[in-house]
Copies of this chain bind each other. A is one copy, B any other.
Amino acid sequence: MSFLRPRHAGLQTDLYELTMAAAYWASGRSEDSATFELSIRSLPQQRSFLLAAGLEQAVEYLRSLTFTNEEIDFLRQHPSFEFVPREFFDYLGDVKFTGSLSAVPEGTIVFGEEPLLRITAPVIQAQIAETYLLSTLTYQTIVATKAARVVQAAQGRGAVEFGTRRAHGPHAGLFAARASYIAGFAATSNTLAGFDWGIPTVGTTAHSWTMSFADEQESFRRFAELFGDKTVLLIDTYDSVEAVRKAMAAKIPFRGVRLDSGNLVEQCREVRRLLDAGGRNDAIILVSGDMNEYVIRDLIAQGAPIDMFGVGTDLVVSRDAPALNGIYKMVEIEQHGEIRSTAKFSDSKTTLPGRKQIFRSTSPDGKIAYDVLGLESERYPEAEALLQPVMEAGELLSPMPTIEKIRSRAAASLSRLPASLTRLNCDEPYRVQKSAMLTALLETLRSRYVPEIVPTVPQQSRDR
């Protein structure tokens, strides 16, 4: 996947990561080892779980993290660095990621405060990575989560992703296609997603095709002549029911029809009736246009005979929860050779110190029961430890999973959600409990609040 290598990886970061890098360097701390964890502070009100996605791009970024001469020259001349010794730029020119990465695999269910990934690396490397990692992981996670809700609402009917045109730029559309496929979508309209990852891509015609002909029926005939039984006719350019009559009268092959507007319950019933009366019980009805999990639930509840949903805007912008409050926080730092746990205690924005692990317990019926958020050094032999090692000394420990494997993992994860969490409006939040050791560490730090230093917790070891 080297064609996905981020352009100018080194500069895809907030400037303060680089000013801090200079300050770490000038303080003689370039090689101090730091540990950062990336988590979502809390679930949006409209979400009862998150489906983690985007790790592959995070890894691609870490493997691409370098500075070219051109980029270094830009920084050298930047007014913020006016007072910074020129030797710093030589240092920066040699930076690449040499640290370790642990993460929950893509397709894992996670909750608020749980780390999606943890990096331990020389502090400058770990610091610079913040901006890119957050935007990559949180966006794909937002979309995968929304997509999982859509798939649940569709109750076995297919869902296809049509959102690139309304995404936050074409790249967002590409990654939305990836994330929704992971979450169980059948396909995407984004052609490049097919090229990049082998995701099934679908699409037939837009209104413009029909409009380009003076006669609607001719537009159907011409398309079906070429695409045969792959044809899905878009029938709502003028009058949907009339269009189906024209299609049937034309005696052309087609796989199904698509409706993109209007009263879908009524129209789909009439369209279904016409198709069946013409002996086309096999023809599918696809609907699109302002679809989301709530609309889909309602259409199904009203008995609309729909076989497949095309979902766009609301999915790719996650309209009812367009951002996650992702954070990337230092949890441990070496200073003068000593390892120290760290937290911040800003009003309502406290972070959890120490290298953590998510310990997940399962009910007898196989559903997930509760999580303990503890220190990595703790042991819960009955529980599953979700964070797994991915990179060591800057190298991948094993090849990243294929998208099909990630999709299977997501399906398995989603099937283990208790029924309460699969409701679109969930009022029984999943239980995530902090371990006694984590709580103790947090309180120790809090009590030392103004003099912030605390000793390392003895059970923690720096190397995994």
A binding-site residues for B, Cβ under 8 Å: 3, 6-8, 11-20, 22-24, 26-27, 29, 32, 34, 36, 71, 74-75, 78-80, 82-84, 123, 127, 130-132, 134-136, 138-140, 142, 162, 164-175, 189-192, 194-195, 201-216, 222-223, 225-228, 230, 236-239, 242, 260-263, 289, 313-314, 316-319, 322-326, 328-330, 333, 335, 340, 342-349, 449-453
Contacts and interface: CB of A to CB of B under 8 A. Distances in A.
A313 B319 contact: no
B168 A167 contact: yes
B204 A165 contact: no
Contact of A123 (B212, B238, B330): B212
A329 to B, nearest CB: 7
Contact of A24 (B22, B212, B323): B212
A80 B226 contact: no
Given A71-B195, A135-B166, A238 B330 contact: no
B20 A205 contact: yes
A119 B167 CA distance: 21
A175 B12 CA distance: 12
Contact of A15 (B15, B84, B169, B201): B201
Nearest to A208: B330
Given A330-B212, A452-B215, A226 B84 contact: yes
B346 A237 contact: yes
B16 A214 contact: no
B319 A169 contact: no
Contact of A263 (B24, B325, B340, B347): B347
A343 to B, nearest CB: 7
A269 B451 CA distance: 25
Nearest to A259: B346
B191 A452 contact: no
Contacts of A239: 345, 449-450
Contact of A191 (B13, B171, B226): B13
Contact of A20 (B166, B208, B261): B208
A195 B70 CA distance: 9
A168 B344 CA distance: 26
A150 to B, nearest CB: 16
Contacts of A189: 14-16
Contacts of A333: 211-212
Nearest to A15: B203
27 contacts: A12-B192, A14-B203, A15-B202, A19-B205, A20-B209, A23-B222, A78-B194, A80-B202, A82-B230, A131-B173, A132-B170, A135-B173, A136-B169, A168-B175, A170-B171, A171-B171, A208-B342, A211-B342, A211-B452, A212-B335, A214-B340, A214-B453, A238-B345, A242-B450, A261-B348, A289-B349, A319-B322
A318 B313 CA distance: 14
A345 B237 contact: yes
Contacts of A348: 261-262
Contacts of A16: 189, 203-206
B205 A23 contact: yes
Contacts of A34: 208, 212
